[in-house]
Structure formats: C-alpha cells, structure tokens
Amino acid sequence: MRSQIFSRPLIGSVLAMTLGLGTGCSHWIELAGPTDAAPPTSATVATDARVPLLLETIRVTLNGSSIAPPTILERQVLGAIEATRLFSQLYQSGYTQPAADQARVTVRLSIDNLVEPHAGQAAWRGFVVGASMFALAPFISLNYDYGAEMSLEMERWDGQIKRYTATSNGSAHYNLFGASPDVIEQLKGEVTEACLSSLLNQVIQDSTFFLASSEHSQDKPIRFVSVGVCHSSPPCDPRVPTDRRLICSVARHKTVHDSSEIWLSPSLQWYHAPYTHEEAGVDLDAFRQMVIKNPQGFLGRYGLGNKLVQEAGNLEEAVEHLTIATQLDLTHVASHLGLGRALVSLGRKDEAKPILQAGIDAARSGRSSGGGDLVPEMEALLRTLG
Amino acid sequence: MAALSSPIYAADPTPQITVGTQEVGLTAGYMLPHRLTQDHTTKQQGVALMPSWMMTLTDPIGDSWYRGQVSLGAEMVYIQFQEPFVTHGVGFTPKIKYTFVAQDRIRPYAEFAGGPFWTDLAGKTPEESSRFNFVLTAGFGVSYFLTDQAALNVGYRFQHISNGGTRYPNLGLNSSLPFGGFSFFF
Amino acid sequence: MKIEEARQRIESAMTQYGAQAGMAIDLVINEVRSDLGAATANELIDEFDLELQYNIAPLESDHSTS
C-alpha cells in the first residue's frame, strides 16, 4: 500500500522530467531575406585596372549606442571584401597604407545592430516551464531577434562617392535546454554575412566605377580576373579566359589570402599563398637559402624563379634562376612555361619563343614525364608572340 | 622627489554570461528554526546540501543599478535534521534567479524556488503530519567571481515546508538557512 | 612527373636542405598532384612522413580548373 502511494507520483515526476529534458533541446534559426534580394552578380575585369582599397572606418552601433567594432566582425568584413577580388590590395587604417600618390578606393562602413532579446517574455516563459516541473520545456520556445543595417560609402580616387545600403534580420528560436551562447552567435554571424553579401553584390554591379582605366601594350597580354561575392567556403571558381589563365591561389592552412595578382602554372595551382607580404618575403628567403646552399639544385632555382614571378618580384632575377632550372632539367615543362612568361613580361619575346617551344616539344615527345596539361597554355602564349 | 611608478593592472575576471550560459553549483547551509506562531513548538535544525543547475535566459536588461539577468534552473535539496530527531528530507525545486550585473565581480542576486519535498521528520512533530510535502524558498545572496567562470556564493534563504493542505495538521515548518557555496559557469 | 622521379627529388631535397626542405618538397608534391593526382601525392606524404616533418598536410579532393 505504501509503495503504491509513493511510486505513482514518483514515477510520474520522473517521466515528466525525462520528457522535458529529452525533448526540450531543440533550436532553429530563421533568416529574413535582405531587402534587396538581387541575384548574385559577377563580372570579369582587367586585372591591371584594379586599384587598392583602403578601409578607413568601421562604425558599429548596438540598439543605437556606439560600440567598439568586434575584431571578429572586422575580419569578416575584410574577408568578404577581399573575396570579391575587385580590388588589387586591401589596406586598413592604422596599418600599412598605400602610397600617397596611388589611386585607391576609400571605404567607410557603418553597421547598426538591432537586438531584441525578448527578456520579459523569456523570464515569464521560464517561470512557467519551471512551475510545470520542466514538463512544458519542449512546448514553450524562447526567442531572440537580431538585425543588421549596413551602409557603405565608397570614395573613388577622384572624390566621387557611391553609397550602398543593405538590411538583414533573423530570429533564433530555442527550447530551454537548447539554449546556448553558440545559437546566438550563429544567428549574428548569419545575419551579418547575409547583409554583407547583399552590400557587396551592389558594389560588384558597379564594378566598372571602381576600376582605373589602363592602356594595354600590344605586346603585353591582358590579364583578367573574375570578381563576385564569394561565400564562406573557398575556393572561388575562377573563370578561364580562352587563351589566358589566372588561377585563384588558395592558402592551404588559412582562409584569407593576399589578393595580389599572380601568374601560376596549373602545377602550382595549390601553392601556399602567403598570408601577408611579410610571409612572402620569408618564402623567398627560404628559396634563396636553398640556392646559396646548392647553386646547382634544380628545386631551389625553379622554386625561387617561380616565386619571384608569383610575387611580381624582380623578373630579371626570375629569368636568371629559371634559365638555370631549364638547363638543369631540359624536360621540365613547368619551368619552361615560367621562364617563358617572365621573358614575355619583360618584353623579350624573341627569347621567349624558343623556350616555350622547347617545353612544348619536351611534353609532346614524351621525354617529359608530366606537364602535358600545360601545353595548350604554352601554345596559346606562343601564338600571341606572333 | 617621489618616483612615479606606473600602476600594474592585473587582469580583471569579467564574467561573460549570456543567453544560454549554464551554471552548475553546490551550496551548503545550516537550517535554523523560526517558530512564527504560538502553535509552533518544534525547533528543527540541521545541515542542508543543495546541488543546482541553472541556465541564463536573458542578456542583461535595464540600465541602472537594477540591471540584471534572469536564470532558470532546478535544485536538489537534501536536509539532515539533527533536532529534534535525526531524520532526513530530500526535495526537487525548480528555481528562478535574478542576478544584478551592474558590477563585474560582485553580483548580488535574488532567488525563488519551490517543489516537492519528502521528509521522515513529519509525523513526528505536531506541525506536520505527512511525509510528502512541498518546500518554498526565497532568498538572496552574493556571488564573487574568482575567475570569469567560477564564483563563490554566500547568502540567506527563508524556507517553508508544508504539505499544501493535503493532510492535517499542516502548520508548516519555517526556517532560516544561511548558506555558502560555489558555482561554475560554462 | 613520374612517382620514382618525385621520390628522388624529395629524398634529394631532404638530403640537401634538411629542415629547410619544406618549400622545395611542397613544389614536388604540387607537381605530383597535378600530374598523378591527389591520391599519389598523399602516398608520398605518408611515405616520407611529410606532415610531421615539414607540416605538409595530405591533400583534399582535386579542384583542378583545367
């Protein structure tokens, strides 16, 4: 009799608590679309026409009160701008600046964050959940609203200004045991990214406004790059012009990479892109040390020569090293291509032709054990030399 | 001339408690009786042990000294009555707490809890006749954050134990419970 | 590049440049990947323990644009 009196309420309480704990762990996020839901835009622009961008200020407010821009937000903004590839280099106020006489685009970004945590509602609903011994936990959801309004002012080198705005908002819904700081952070990240994407899409639509006109020499091939809003998962798919190739370098260990224009053979497609110019210098030094240690080592000469070409460094020096590399390995196709490119960039077309032809012959004859995929590119480059 | 030395600033542990932050704690106290009416004759005393879990429901609300956060959770209550008899009591109480966050390391709070409570003291005292009861608790305390994730708590609670009128007599037992404990936030 | 040639180049780089051979070996691995595929490149990375010695991580799926 006593066991019956105590077991039923006890069992009922345990079941209620188990139900509450087990099923009240869910959460989900709803995003409202940005106000200007235009389809993603992309364009192909001449690489030489791109100018650097200077991020002058980021002003952030939270429910109308100014706050210091969070570091993670700064990095998100910089990464999104850099991923468009519309600008040749990225500078930020307070760090290295572009040369005073260099044409550039200056950017001022303003972000207004609106937070509605529904605190009163959460407190009352929490009280009800507690009073129900958590049995109502799976049925009562709590809400957190977050919105962002961004305005971007872009000033061209000649003083002309364009302004863009975008808005995005979303809500996080969660049951009691599904609450977590990560849910709120995820909501904020998604809203910010949606707003940034919308903003930069508008910038891409006006991409010609931010390009400097450039006169192209008949001898110099025109290099192109595809620009567009790139979402969080790298790499961006580069467009391949018919007879020229610019390949997006992807940093293997880092997600933000220097946007300097590069020439790469496909065999170096996944080369580590330096994160900063300082790191590029470190890599060059490493190859220089190899050359000093072993002047007749193929890898040191080839690596240093190609690195100089990638970083738009001293092309005369690159020619010197790549010439030795092609002499050390007569059948290495990629070094012939790199040397050919460097000579073409220096305007030494007559010297480039036999180099490129030798590389093509090595690949076609089978003396080379690889690099066959470089032949079309070499042939195309050879055709442009007349 | 006195030399001026630059002050040395130690890192201040400012707890970053937001929506979804969980708190696990352990509190211990000693129950002291309050005989509020002439009909109350029992002087129950004993040690109380209370492990708890809480989750923060809101970001800081308000702008002035009352700026604070609401947390919801639950607590197990174990009491070993040493007076008038050695007996035991155990209960489960959902709890709601409002923590004042105007300061960084020292955070006062007010709390309220209530839930079922079983004790074999009842039936041996004139105030309570059934072993199954309810316990209502209201109190306040102060949390002192040693790091941004760990805090020491001290405070006071007033407890009322009764069976909610399910059986008579039901005068209820009232007591004060000064306590101390610690909490860990994650 | 054939795999034997790649092995010789990696061994040569390790002998000649020691701890500073990472950049050179990376060049070889990239060429192997381009010519023979990521699986072969990963075999070489395992064979010479390049991840531990030179922080050259195994490659993911090919993203060739050719």
- Lowest-pLDDT range, A23-27, A306-310, B73-77? A23-27
- Residue window 65-104, chain B: list those with CB within 8 Å of chain A: 70, 72-74, 92, 94-96
Q: What is the pTM of this model?
A: 0.55
Confidence class of residue B165 from pLDDT cuts 50, 70 and 90? confident
- Asked if pLDDT for residue B91 goes beyond 90, the answer is yes
pLDDT at B13: 57
pLDDT at A131: 82
Q: Evaluate whether residue C11 is within a structural domain.
A: yes
Confidence class of residue A167 from pLDDT cuts 50, 70 and 90? very high
Q: Evaluate whether residue C59 is within a structural domain.
A: no
Mean pLDDT over A234-247 rounds to 33
pLDDT at B160: 92
pLDDT at A92: 80
- Asked if pLDDT for residue A144 goes beyond 70, the answer is yes
pLDDT at A230: 59
- Asked if pLDDT for residue A81 goes beyond 80, the answer is yes
Integer-rounded Cα radius of gyration of chain B: 20
The more confidently predicted of residues B132 and A226 is B132
Give the distance from residue A118's alpha carbon to the nearest chain B alpha carbon, in angstroms: 8
- Asked if pLDDT for residue A119 goes beyond 90, the answer is no
Residues of chain A with CATH 3.30.160.150: 26-210
Q: What is the DSSP track for A217-283? A: PTTSPPPEEEEE---SSSPP-----SS--------SS-S----------GGGTTPPPPSSHHHHHHH
pLDDT digits (tens, 9 = 90+) for A246-264: 223 322 333 333 333 333 3
- Asked if pLDDT for residue A245 goes beyond 70, the answer is no
Q: From CA A212, how far away is CA A160, in angstroms rounded? A: 13
The more confidently predicted of residues A263 and A13 is A13
Mean pLDDT over B92-109 rounds to 92
Long-range contacts of A102-106 (CB under 8 A, 24+ apart): A102/A51, A102/A52, A103/A51, A103/A157, A103/A212, A104/A51, A104/A52, A104/A53, A104/A54, A104/A157, A105/A51, A105/A52, A105/A53, A105/A54, A105/A154, A105/A155, A105/A156, A105/A157, A105/A210, A106/A53, A106/A54, A106/A56, A106/A154, A106/A155
Confidence class of residue A240 from pLDDT cuts 50, 70 and 90? very low
Confidence class of residue B100 from pLDDT cuts 50, 70 and 90? very high
Q: Evaluate whether residue C40 is within a structural domain.
A: yes
pLDDT at B186: 85
- Asked if pLDDT for residue A238 goes beyond 60, the answer is no
Contact present, B137 and B2 (Cβ < 8 Å): no
CATH 3.30.160.150 fits A26-210, yes or no: yes
Q: Which chains touch A (3 or more CB pairs under 8 A)?
A: B, C
Select the residue of A115, A129, A181 nearest B20 (Cβ to Cβ). A181
Average pLDDT, chain A: 76
Confidence class of residue B9 from pLDDT cuts 50, 70 and 90? very low
Question: ipTM of the assembly?
Answer: 0.79
- Residue window 116-135, chain A: list those with CB within 8 Å of chain B: 117, 119-120, 122-123, 126-127, 129-131, 133-134
The more confidently predicted of residues A286 and B112 is B112
Residues of chain B neighbouring A113 (CB-CB closer than 8 A): none
Q: Chain C contact for A117, CB < 8 A?
A: no
- Asked if pLDDT for residue B76 goes beyond 50, the answer is yes
pLDDT at A19: 65
Q: Evaluate whether residue C41 is within a structural domain.
A: yes
pLDDT digits (tens, 9 = 90+) for A345-380: 888 889 999 999 999 888 888 777 677 778 888 888
Question: Does the CA dihedral A100-A104-A110-A111 come out positive or negative?
Answer: negative
Q: Evaluate whether residue C45 is within a structural domain.
A: yes
pLDDT at A44: 66
Residues of chain B neighbouring A127 (CB-CB closer than 8 A): 72, 96
Confidence class of residue A14 from pLDDT cuts 50, 70 and 90? confident
φ and ψ at residue C23, rounded to 5 degrees: -60, -45
- Asked if pLDDT for residue B36 goes beyond 50, the answer is yes
Mean pLDDT over A122-146 rounds to 87
pLDDT at A271: 30
Residues of chain C neighbouring A252 (CB-CB closer than 8 A): 57
Q: Measure the CA dihedral A195/A196/A202/A203, to 10°.
A: 160
Question: Which of B57, B101, B185 would best serve as a mutation to test chain A binding (most A beta carbons within 10 A)?
Answer: B57
Q: From CA A322, how far away is CA A358, in angstroms rounded? A: 14
Q: From CA A137, how far away is CA A175, in angstroms rounded? A: 6
Confidence class of residue C60 from pLDDT cuts 50, 70 and 90? low
Residues of chain A with CATH 1.25.40.10: 277-384
Decide which of 3.50.30.50, 1.10.800.10, 1.25.40.10, 3.40.50.970 is the CATH code for A277-384.
1.25.40.10
Mean pLDDT over A163-181 rounds to 89
How far separated are the first and last CA of chain C, in Å rounded?
17
- Asked if pLDDT for residue A309 goes beyond 50, the answer is yes
pLDDT at B78: 94
Whether the link from the prior residue into B84 is cis, omega within 30° of 0, is: yes
- Asked if pLDDT for residue A280 goes beyond 70, the answer is no
Would you list the domain boundaries of chain B? 22-185
- Asked if pLDDT for residue A147 goes beyond 60, the answer is yes
Confidence class of residue B12 from pLDDT cuts 50, 70 and 90? low
Q: Evaluate whether residue C18 is within a structural domain.
A: yes
pLDDT at A286: 82
- Asked if pLDDT for residue A239 goes beyond 80, the answer is no
Confidence class of residue B125 from pLDDT cuts 50, 70 and 90? confident
Confidence class of residue A2 from pLDDT cuts 50, 70 and 90? low
Give the distance from residue A29's alpha carbon to the nearest chain C alpha carbon, in angstroms: 31
Contact present, A45 and A225 (Cβ < 8 Å): yes
pLDDT at A21: 60
The more confidently predicted of residues A286 and B126 is A286
Q: Chain A contact for B166, CB < 8 A?
A: no
Please provide the CATH number assigned to the domain covering B22-185. Answer: 2.40.160.20
Q: Evaluate whether residue C65 is within a structural domain.
A: no
Q: Evaluate whether residue C38 is within a structural domain.
A: yes
Confidence class of residue A314 from pLDDT cuts 50, 70 and 90? confident
The more confidently predicted of residues A263 and A10 is A10
